[in-house]
């Protein structure tokens, strides 16, 4: 018999009949239609298991808030750096400017975009890579390697030296109008290439475009300081630091971090990314002269081992994850058992795909960067729960912190940034090998989109 693809009255009648007398379905329907899926599926036992005291627990200071912006990667990076300043100067809290790297990232990323437009100018607009470049050339997202490039070139400044503006905290309109300008610039450059422009003419056009980008960013974000005065006092009003600094000098003296020692380790258990290999993502970057990103792909237990080692040495860990999965936002709990979706519906919804399949089929990818600030260990030294510093303000979760089970770490953490000294010789050699280039739309580049 030929297969009928249509949803016939007989098919619908069968679906109705299958639910007749299904008491569990009726109860679930009443709960979901009244309160919604998340409330009906919430597991209070999982929420209750989220401890707020950890075997290893770093104290960070006031929780930061990225507000209506996609700067999580910047906030997580700056939170690892301000921790060093607080420890060095004996401060209970301190904050570095998040508007400062935002300015330079938008500026550098515009230049990165124009260079890629020139490099692909011979391809048609319908080419998938060209279409990808034009889709979202100026998003807020980014990667650790991109932040490292910004800091190496521009340093960091205290928040007082370049405070938040309306559009650093609300980047939607900033991005919308500047993106339109960048696309118009892309057309000018592609038209010039098609008309036979030489390298000098293309450089002249791009220079004018970049001058306008700088003007636009100054109007929206203020002009980044070339130097600034520093006066830092502790809670006892004791002067801890003073003087005039450039952003680079401030970073060198107070953060005192060898940026090149910190590298990205990912866990992508898909068949196209063998472990113990290094990878990069095409078109992913910002500072042209510093190149793109590099990861080494390792089993998830290696990421846990490195994270525990760095926390044990008293330093926080930047990490990237799919934060929207199995998340009780109000409770600040991340746990695969937190929401019993499959039990509520009586279907294999969450159980239908493992971690590799979720990546392959577009169900999961890196969406948010945060900072590990603590971990609980069992009797054998294995992690059981993780303490997470978020950047969504102090009025959510556990006073701005979230608690993740180790099972959630296994399923939804994709990247950690650690000192390369925690890698074995074999792992480090893999990182330093020539990277395999992934497609621009690969899920391992998603945090920067």
**Alpha helical stretches, state H, 196-335:** 199-221, 247-250, 300-312
Active-site position among 43, 72, 167, 286: 72
Cβ atoms of 343 and 351 closer than 8 Å: no
Per the structure block, which two tokens stand in for 4? 């009928």
Q: Which of 341, 350, 346, 337 is nearest to 38 (CA)?
A: 341
Query: Which one-letter DSSP state was computed for residue 45?
Result: H
Q: Which helix (H) or strand (E) holds 401?
A: strand 401-405
Residue reference for tokens 């919804």:
349
End-to-end CA gap in the chain: 48
Instruction: Give the separation between CA 281 and CA 266, rounded to whole angstroms.
Output: 13
**Both tokens assigned to 444:** 């391992």
Active site residue 167: no
Active-site annotation holder among 175, 267, 368, 376: 368
In sign, the C-alpha dihedral spanning 28, 29, 34, 39 is positive
Spatial CA neighbour of 370 closest among 404, 414, 320: 320
Is there a contact between 274 and 391 (Cβ–Cβ < 8 Å)? Answer: no
Nearest 5°: the CA angle 256, 214, 439 is: 75
Closest CA to 399 of 377, 380, 373: 373
Beta strands in 267-346 (DSSP E): 277-281, 295-297, 317-321, 327-328, 333-334
Active site residue 72: yes
Give the DSSP per-residue string, 89-152.
HT-S---B-SHHHHHHHHHHHHHHHHHHHHHTTTS-TTSHHHHHHHH-TT-S---HHHHHHHHH
Look-up of token digits 């005291």: 53
Please pick, among 79, 286, 376, 390, the residue that the annotation labels catalytic.
390
CA distance 143 to 222: 24
CA distance 31 to 137: 43
- Separation in Å, CA 206 to CA 103, 131, 176, 193, 348: 19, 20, 20, 12, 53
177 is catalytic: no
H-run or E-run covering 11: helix 9-19
Residues catalogued as catalytic:
72, 368, 390
């Amino acid at each position: 018999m030929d297969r009928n693809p249509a949803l016939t009255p007989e098919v619908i009648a069968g679906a109705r009949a299958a639910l007749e007398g299904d008491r569990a379905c009726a109860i679930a329907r009443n709960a979901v239609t009244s309160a919604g899926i998340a409330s009906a599926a919430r597991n209070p036992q999982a929420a209750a298991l989220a401890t707020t005291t950890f075997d290893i627990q770093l104290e960070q200071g006031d929780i930061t808030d990225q507000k209506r912006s996609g700067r999580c990667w910047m906030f997580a990076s700056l939170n690892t750096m301000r921790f060093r300043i607080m420890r060095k100067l004996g401060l209970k809290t301190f904050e570095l400017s998040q508007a400062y790297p935002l300015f330079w990232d938008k500026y550098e990323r515009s230049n990165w975009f124009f260079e890629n437009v020139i490099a692909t100018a011979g391809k048609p607009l319908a080419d998938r890579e060209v279409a990808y470049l034009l889709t979202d050339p100026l998003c807020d997202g980014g990667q650790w390697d991109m932040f490292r490039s910004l800091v190496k070139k521009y340093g960091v400044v205290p928040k007082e030296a370049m405070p938040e503006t309306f559009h650093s905290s609300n980047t939607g309109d900033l991005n919308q109008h500047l993106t339109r300008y960048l696309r118009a610039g892309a057309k000018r450059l592609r038209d010039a290439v098609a008309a036979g422009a030489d390298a000098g003419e293309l450089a002249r056009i791009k220079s004018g475009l970049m001058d306008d980008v700088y003007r636009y960013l100054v109007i929206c974000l203020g002009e980044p300081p070339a130097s600034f005065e520093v006066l830092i006092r502790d809670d006892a009003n004791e002067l801890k630091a003073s003087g005039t600094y450039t952003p680079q000098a401030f970073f060198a003296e107070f953060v005192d971090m060898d940026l090149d020692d910190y590298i990205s380790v990912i866990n992508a258990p898909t068949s196209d990314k063998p472990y113990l290999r290094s990878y990069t993502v095409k078109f992913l970057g910002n500072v042209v002269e510093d190149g793109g990103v590099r990861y080494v792909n390792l089993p998830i237990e290696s990421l846990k081992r490195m994270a525990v080692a760095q926390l044990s040495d008293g330093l926080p860990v930047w990490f990237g994850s799919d934060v929207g999965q199995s998340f009780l936002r109000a409770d600040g709990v991340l746990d695969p058992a937190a929401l019993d979706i499959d039990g509520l519906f009586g279907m294999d919804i969450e159980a239908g795909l493992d971690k590799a399949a979720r990546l392959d089929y577009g169900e999961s990818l890196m969406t948010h960067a945060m900072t590990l600030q603590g971990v609980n260990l069992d009797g054998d030294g294995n992690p059981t729960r993780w303490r997470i510093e978020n950047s969504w303000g102090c009025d959510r979760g556990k006073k701005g912190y979230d608690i993740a089970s180790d099972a959630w770490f296994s399923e939804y953490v994709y990247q950690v940034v650690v000192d390369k000294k925690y890698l074995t010789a074999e792992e480090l050699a893999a990182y330093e090998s020539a990277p395999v280039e992934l497609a621009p739309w690969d899920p391992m580049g998603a945090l920067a989109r």
